[in-house]
Each structure stands twice: as structure tokens, then as C-alpha cells.
Amino acid sequence: MRRTYNRANYILKDSEMKKFLFFAACCMLTALASSAQIPALERVEPMFWWTGMHNPDLQLIVHGDHISSREVALNYPGVKLVAVHKVENPDYLFVDLRIFSSAVPGTFPIKFTEGGKKPLVYNYELKGKDHATNRAQGVTSKDLIYLIMPDRFSNGDPSNDSIPGMLEQGINRAKMYSRHGGDLQGIMDHLDYLKDLGVTAIWLTPAVENDEPNASYHGYAVTDHYRVDRRYGSNELYKKFVEKCHRMGLKVVMDLVHNHAGTEGYTIKDMPMKSWVHQWPTYTKSNFRDAAVMDPHVSPADRKQMLDGWFDHRMADMNENNPYVQNYLTQNHIWWVEYAGVDGFRLDTYPYNDPEYMAKWALDVRAEFPHLSIFGETLVWSAANQAFFTEGNTVNRGFDTHLPGVTDGVWKEAVYEALNGKEGWTDGVNRLYSVMAQDFLYKDATKNTIFLDNHDMSRFLSVVGEDINKYKSGIAMLMTMRGVPQMYYGDEILMKNFSNPDGLVRADFQGGWKADTVNKFVAAGRTAAENDAFNYVRKLANYRKNTTALQTGKLMQYIPENGIYVYFRYDDKKTVMVVYNSSDKEQSTATDRYAERIKAAKKAKNIITDEVIDLAKLTIPEKSTLVLELE
């Protein structure tokens, strides 16, 4: 058995149940603090800030050996030292500044003095706010998001495969849970591929530092909120990545983790205070039951375990009721937008966060960047559960979450049922119809992100039994339904596998490493089937990119009959008719039932084949979908 002791407290991390000794924790705090092995002024965060921000208040977190014994002073026009907070751990100070509108960009010293000792000085920089219009522009239903795990996409810079001093060394592509060496440069090298495919936005799983001993390649165990993982590149390279994307007409979504942090991070190993993370008498995981957040009959103990329980031994649960934690996280996220110019945030494990804080966070971030888009991960089982977390549901919540959209996992499951299920009153394709009919639960369902798979679940192709007709039908629905479509890297080239174990769905994109014998980034390296799938995705994605009816048009759907589901996307420019045959056999259907939307149109163009067909009667192959532009 092994215990891990933190200087600011004592946290039990083994699966075996052990008693929490508060008295021993306090004693250990004093003993360990006296033997600090950190520099006298180890860091100041945020490292720099900007003039002209909406919120004039800034709270610096200062970490250094017994830094709390020092006095703080500064002198710079337009900047006021408001307060200095000493906390339980003597190695921290929280310094409140107010940056008035009169402040101009420049650098000034912040001095930390103590008696006759030599002053410690941090030269703090205020930069000018960037007002470029292509920064923080938002990701909307006009976009197609492409999700990439940086470690698994392409290795553009082998020199950063192993960084001296980091806990996990080297790469091993033969092991699914080892690092494989993908990086930011590798992604930048293949932006032309994504642009050609029809992608308009790129979402990377977290690129910030995850310096854990093993299996931290996924990015969700953050150990340094202000630093890009050096195995991916640098902060400067991340900024260049965003800038290059913007020059090419591509947007960038940053993945944020509010709920937890990696246990090797400095604020976890040497916590400012016991309440920095949620403490339990024994190691306690979340029960992972989102219903406990919304249940009017819930046991308070169940709700607390859902919100405050740890995600994993290596993922400490952040105490978002702590105002210092709130400031630290919110300022960090604002810092990244202003520094790099990202266009949107995807919020990891949204239901596990403190609800009131997340509502305040959304307001604070959007006050600085009004066009920035936000969507939260809510892998729940019903549309009502999803909608509960979105903005506008004040009757149910008692407050507004200010969360515009969610990852629409309920839509995904309904598509799976439509493709794989047997026909029934609420089964088969009727499930999809019913889920779409529940859009009344959302303030604006078009802000939901729809998807067929991601890094945490089985690949779409495998779920549909590698049936190419089902695959194409799912892609067609993804590109033509309401919402913001998101694809997972490699779906366009028929990457497959199931999520048990999850490493199998995080395979490398072949061609992204110099040692690869095939290159799937080019047509010559793909099989005939892979090129057929790639071309199908590209045709629909680029058609969608140029068709406002599929981006912002209205949606009208018809109750399925005989396994045939028909819906329309339309605006004053175009009408697109989508016809899905869920049957295992070819079917024909008369179109007079849809006359109110077809109106005077007699013919339509098949978007995939460019064939012009007669609308009087349609023939649809089994498990297939027609995407038709009415003429």
C-alpha cells in the first residue's frame, strides 16, 4: 500500500479505504512547508496580462519558498495594489490588482520584500489587447468541427518526443497507452488536408501540460494550466498554430477541464489550502450519475458524491466553491483566448462541475469575448437531461447556466438506433424522429454539437458493423441535421475499433509518422474503399460549407412511414430534401405527402452523384440516404 502526502494537506489515493486524519494533515503541513525545495519566487500566474480588458480586476497567484513572509509593493500608473491574501500554505500569496482604463502597455516591477533580505522582483508585463476581428470569432452551425488527439495525428517534430525531466519518457507506438509522438507541428503540416476535406474548425483534446507518470497522452490530467505540453510544442507554437488556422479560414476550439487536475501539478502537490480540492475521509470517486444534479428527490449525499467525488486517483477534484480556485481557472481561460485567439471552448465533464460557478464563469468569459462559442460535454441518456444543463432553463434550475449548447450524445444514440434498430413505435428510425421532436426543450438546439463518435467511445464504423451504406447514411445525417457537426479524426478514412479498451479508438493516423509505410493523407495511400468514404465525406462537407440552408436554414421533419424518414432543410435560397430508408430492402416512395415543402419542384439533384432525378417517385436502396437539392 502507498500513500501520497501533499504539503498543504494529506490526500489518500489508493483504492483501499483508509482513514483521513485531519490532525496529522495539519502537522504534516507545518513540517513539510519548512523543508521546501522550491525557489524563493517560483512563479507568478498569469505571467502577464492586458490593458483594456472588460474586468479591471486581476488576481495573481504567487508561489515561492515562504513567500507569504514578504511584503508586496508596486508602482505603475493605472495599476493599483488592492489586497494581498495570505493563506494556509506559507508558500503562496494571492495578490489583487486593479488595472484602470488609463493603464498603458508596459513592464513594471512587483517587489517582494522582507526585512534586510534582498528583495525578490518579478517584472510584470501589461500587453495591449488584440482587436483583430478573426480572433475569438465563435464556432457556429455554419462550421464543421474536426476532433484531433494531438498525440495520435502526426509527428511533425521528432525532437520533442522525449523531454528531459518529464515523468513519462520516450514514445512507444506499439503500446496503446504510451505516448506516440504526435504534436502541433504535425497538425500544422496537414491543415491543407483538413481544408480540402471541408473542415472549418479544429478541436484538439487538451494541449496543455499533462506531466503524469503514465497514460496522460489524452490531455485530461492537467499539471500546468499555463503551459502547452512540451511534447506537443510550446505556447508560442500553439499561438502560431491558431494564427495559421485563421489565415486558412479555419477556427480553433480549445478543450478545457474545470472539474479536475492532474495530481503532479504544483497547485495539487503543494496546495495553497486544504480546500483547493474536494477532501474526503477516504478516497471517493464520483458516482458519475448526472441525474443526482437534477433529481428533486435526491439524497444530498448522492449529489455531493456526483459533484465532489474524484474522477480518478490521478485526477484531483477541484473545489469550485473556493473563490481562489474560481479566479485561477477563469483567468486562465481568459488568458488563453487573449493570448492565442482561440474561437471556442469545449467544456469537459460539464455536469460534474459546480453549477453556480459554471454559470458565473460563462458570463465572465463572454463579457470579455462576446462571440466566443461554448459547448459542454454532457454524455447523458435523455434530451431532458441534456437540456437541463443548457441556458434558458431557469424554471428547472432556479438560475441560468448561460451554457449555449451541449455535445448532443442523445442525438448520436438516436442515429445509432435509426441505423441498427428494429422498427417500432419509438424504436428504429422513430427514435431519431422523437429525439428531434424534443428540441422544444432547448433555447436553441442549433447550438448543440452533433457527432457520431469521439475519443471516449467506439468508432462509428464499428458500431454500424462496418456496413458502408449505414456509414454513409450516418455521415449524411451529420452533415444535414440541425446543430454544429463534429467529426472524429480518421472517420473519413474508415478508421474503426471499439472502446473497450479505449486505446483502440485512439490509433495513429497512418502517414503522420516518417516510419509509416502508407500515407492515408493522400489518395494514393488509401484503399479504394477508403477513398470512396473520403470522397463521400468531402462532397457533403464542402456542399454544406456552401449551402446556407444546411447551416442556418429551418428544419421540417415528417413522421416515418414504412421505415422511410424524410426531413427538409430550407431557407429562401435553397431547399434540401433528405430521405433515409431504414429498411433492409430497397424501397420506393411517392412524394405527394411532402408537397407542402416540395411545392412546385419536379426534379432534384442528387448531391453525391450530381444526377438529376424525377421527384414524383423516389427509389432508395436499403439502409441508404439520399441528399437532394430541389430544383
Write down the catalytic residue from 168, 229, 377, 417. 377
Active site residue 229: no
pLDDT at residue 21, as a whole number: 33
Asked whether the predicted pLDDT for residue 4 surpasses 90, the reply is no
CATH H-level superfamily of 43-128: Immunoglobulins (2.60.40.10)
How many angstroms separate the Cα of 5 from the Cα of each of 10, 24, 27, 270, 361? Answer: 5, 11, 12, 10, 31
Q: What is the CA radius of gyration of the chain?
A: 26
Chain centre to alpha carbon of residue 27: 40
The residues, any chain, with a CB within 8 Å of residue 312's CB and separated by 6 or more, are 221, 260, 285
Alpha helices in 421-467 (DSSP H): 429-437, 460-463
- Tell me the pLDDT of the chain averaged across its residues: 94
Residue 241's nearest CA partner among 291, 299, 280, 202 is 202
Write down the catalytic residue from 151, 212, 348, 508. 348
Burial label, 128 (beta-carbon count in 10 A; 0-12, 13-18, 19+): exposed
Active site residue 377: yes
CATH number of 553-630: 2.60.40.1180
End-to-end Cα, the chain, rounded Å: 72
Asked whether the predicted pLDDT for residue 9 surpasses 80, the reply is no
- Burial code (b: 16+ CB inside 10 Å, e: under 16) for 18-45 equals eeeeeeebeebbeebbeebebeebeebb
406 pLDDT tier (thresholds 50, 70, 90):
very high
pLDDT at residue 33, as a whole number: 41
Identical fold between 43-128 and 553-630 = yes
Asked whether the predicted pLDDT for residue 28 surpasses 80, the reply is no
37 pLDDT tier (thresholds 50, 70, 90):
confident
Determine the Cα–Cα distance for residues 381 and 457; give it in Å rounded to an integer: 15
Determine the Cα–Cα distance for residues 18 and 448; give it in Å rounded to an integer: 42
Determine the Cα–Cα distance for residues 276 and 65; give it in Å rounded to an integer: 19
pLDDT at residue 18, as a whole number: 40
pLDDT tens-digit readout, 281-318 = 999 999 999 999 999 999 999 999 999 999 999 999 99
Determine the Cα–Cα distance for residues 110 and 308; give it in Å rounded to an integer: 36
Q: Is 209:223 a contact under the CB 8 Å cutoff?
A: yes
Judged by DSSP in three states, 227 sits in: strand
pLDDT at residue 427, as a whole number: 96
The 3-class secondary structure across 245-284, one letter per residue, is HHHCCCEEEEEECCCEEECCCHHHHCCCCHHHECCCCCCC
This prediction's pTM: 0.94
Q: Is 310:260 a contact under the CB 8 Å cutoff?
A: yes
pLDDT tens-digit readout, 514-550 = 999 999 999 999 999 999 999 999 999 999 999 999 9
The residues, any chain, with a CB within 8 Å of residue 103's CB and separated by 6 or more, are 51, 76, 77, 78, 79, 126
pLDDT tens-digit readout, 39-77 = 999 999 999 999 999 999 999 999 999 999 999 999 999
Q: Is 321:354 a contact under the CB 8 Å cutoff?
A: yes
Asked whether the predicted pLDDT for residue 26 surpasses 90, the reply is no
pLDDT at residue 332, as a whole number: 98
pLDDT tens-digit readout, 353-395 = 999 999 999 999 999 999 999 999 999 999 999 999 999 999 8
Cell of 124: 510584470
Determine the Cα–Cα distance for residues 403 and 74; give it in Å rounded to an integer: 38
116 pLDDT tier (thresholds 50, 70, 90):
confident
Judged by DSSP in three states, 365 sits in: helix
pLDDT at residue 357, as a whole number: 98
pLDDT at residue 29, as a whole number: 43
* Percent of the chain topping pLDDT 70: 94
Determine the Cα–Cα distance for residues 5 and 10; give it in Å rounded to an integer: 5
Q: Which sequence spans correspond to the domains of the chain?
A: 43-128, 145-262+321-546, 553-630
**Cα 137–Cα 141–Cα 142 angle in degrees, nearest 5:** 70
237 pLDDT tier (thresholds 50, 70, 90):
very high
In the Cβ-directed half-sphere of 130, how many Cα atoms lie within 13 Å?
A: 17
pLDDT at residue 5, as a whole number: 25
pLDDT at residue 6, as a whole number: 32
Angle, helices 323-340 vs 235-247, to 10°: value is: 50
468 pLDDT tier (thresholds 50, 70, 90):
very high
pLDDT at residue 12, as a whole number: 35
CATH H-level superfamily of 145-262+321-546: Glycosidases (3.20.20.80)
Determine the Cα–Cα distance for residues 385 and 408; give it in Å rounded to an integer: 11
Asked whether the predicted pLDDT for residue 3 surpasses 60, the reply is no
* Percent of the chain topping pLDDT 90: 93
Residue 110's nearest CA partner among 86, 89, 127, 93 is 93
Maximal CA-CA distance, the chain = 93
Residues found in the chain: 631
User: 140: which strand partners?
Assistant: none
Residue 567's nearest CA partner among 410, 437, 453, 447 is 437
487 pLDDT tier (thresholds 50, 70, 90):
very high
13 pLDDT tier (thresholds 50, 70, 90):
very low
Q: Is 308:278 a contact under the CB 8 Å cutoff?
A: yes
pLDDT at residue 396, as a whole number: 86
Is the link from the previous residue into 501 a cis peptide, with omega within 30 of 0? yes
